[in-house]
Structure 1
C-alpha cells in the first residue's frame, strides 16, 4: 500500500469526477496486485466481495467500527433520515443515462457503503449520515512496474462544523489502523483469489 497525491486521482479520466466534483478528495491509496492485467478489475472486485466486510477485519479494526456504531446509535448519526436519499440526494440521481443503465454493483448488508455504479475499470459507492456524505471510488490503473493495481480514493462532503470535526478526529485512526488493516485484507484477497485452471 502507498498513499498517493490527490493528483494521482484527479489526473485520471474517471467518470466519478463529473458527478462528485463538489466533494473534497480526502485520501488516495494504491494496493499491490502483482501480475494483474488491464481486464482484471472485475476479478479484484469479486475477490474483495469474497474476502468479506467489516466482520472479517482484524480485531482492532472491528473494535473501532463497533465503537463508531455505538456512538452513531447514541447520537443519532446513522438514523435513516440522515442518509443518502433523505438528508442528501444520492449520487445515483446525478448519473448520466449511460451510467444509470449500466450495472450498479452488488450491495452487501455487511457494508455500509451502497453501490452507485460499477464499470470495467472503476466503481463508486456512497454513504451519508449526520456527519458526512462520502464516496469510496475504486479505480484500476497501470502501475510503475507494468502490472495493473487497485487505487482507492475517499471523497468527502462534511456536514457543517460537526462533519469537519468528525473527520479531523477520525483521521489518526484511519491512517494508523483502518487503512493498514484494509491493505492487508485487500492485498491478501488478490493473492488468495481463485484462479481458473490452466488449459491443457
Structure 2
C-alpha cells in the first residue's frame, strides 16, 4: 500500500542526516509482518533474492527493457555508478554509522548497502540518470507487531535524470511496485519460521 510522504518524513530516521539533497519519490508499506528484530532478515531478503528480478511478468519485462536501454545508451557503465560518477553515501555517514554494520551485500547486485541499524537499512544505486536510495524502515504496525516500510529517494542527474524519473513514474506506480510488493510479501511469508516473535 502506498503511504503519504509524512509516513517517512515524520520519523527520526538517520537517513535524514545524510540525504537532505535527495527527493522523496515514494513511500510504501511492505507486507512483512514480524517481530521487533526482523529488519536484518528483510534487508537480507532484498539483497539476496534480488527483487529487481521479480517473477511477475510485467515488472520483469519492464526491468529487461530498462537494462537493455541502459546498455545501449551507456547509462549503466562502470564510470556512471557509486564511487565513480557520484561519491558513496558512506562518505557522508557520521562516525557511529560508519563504524556500525553496513548491511548485506550481493556481488553484482544493482544496490550497495550503506548502513544497517536496528530499525533502518539504506542501500544506494547510481547511473547516468540518477543517484537513488532505497530506505527500509522497521515500524510498529499498530497491532503489537512490526512491518517494513520502503522509501525511495532520488537525486536526478540533470535534465536527463529529471526526464527519466518523470517518464518511469507511471510504470513504477501501476506495474512495478505493486508486483514487487506482492513478491516481497510472498517470499516473506515463505520464510515465516525464520522471524522473531511479534
Name the counterpart of 1:11.
Answer: 10
Task: Kindly indicate whether residue 54 of structure 2 is the aligned counterpart of residue 66 of structure 1.
Answer: no
Query: How far apart are residue 50 of structure 1 and its match?
Result: 5.6
Would you say how many aligned residue pairs link Structure 1 and Structure 2?
Answer: 195
Q: Is the 8 A contact 2:51 2:180 kept in 1?
A: no
Q: Any stretches of 5+ residues in structure 2 without a counterpart?
A: none
Name the counterpart of 2:153.
Answer: 155
Equivalent-residue separation in structure 1 for 2:160 and 2:121 (angstroms) = 28
- The 1:83/1:48 distance shift into structure 2, 3 A limit, reads closer
Name the counterpart of 2:132.
Answer: 134
Q: Is the 8 A contact 2:51 2:183 kept in 1?
A: no
* CA RMSD after TM alignment: 1.8
- The 1:185/1:15 distance shift into structure 2, 3 A limit, reads same
Comparing 74-83 with 49-58, which one deviates more in the overlay?
Answer: 49-58
Q: Is the 8 A contact 1:55 1:110 kept in 2?
A: no
- The 1:110/1:187 distance shift into structure 2, 3 A limit, reads farther
Task: State TM-score, norm by structure 1.
Answer: 0.90
Match of 1:125 among 123, 126, 132: 123
Q: Is the 8 A contact 2:81 2:126 kept in 1?
A: yes
Q: How does 1:25-104 map to 2 (within 5 A)?
A: 25-34=24-33, 36-49=34-47, 51-104=49-102
Match of 1:195 among 173, 193, 196: 193
Equivalent-residue separation in structure 2 for 1:131 and 1:43 (angstroms) = 30
Greater Rg over alpha carbons, structure:
1
CA deviation vs aligned residue, 1:161-184 (integer Å, no higher than 9, x gap): 101110011011111111011111
- The 1:78/1:185 distance shift into structure 2, 3 A limit, reads same
Between 1 and 2, higher relative CO (CA 8 Å, sep ≥ 6) is seen in 2
Query: How far apart are residue 86 of structure 1 and its match?
Result: 1.2
Query: How far apart are residue 8 of structure 1 and its match?
Result: 0.7
Q: Any stretches of 5+ residues in structure 1 without a counterpart?
A: none
Task: Kindly indicate whether residue 175 of structure 2 is the aligned counterpart of residue 181 of structure 1.
Answer: no
Name the counterpart of 1:114.
Answer: 112
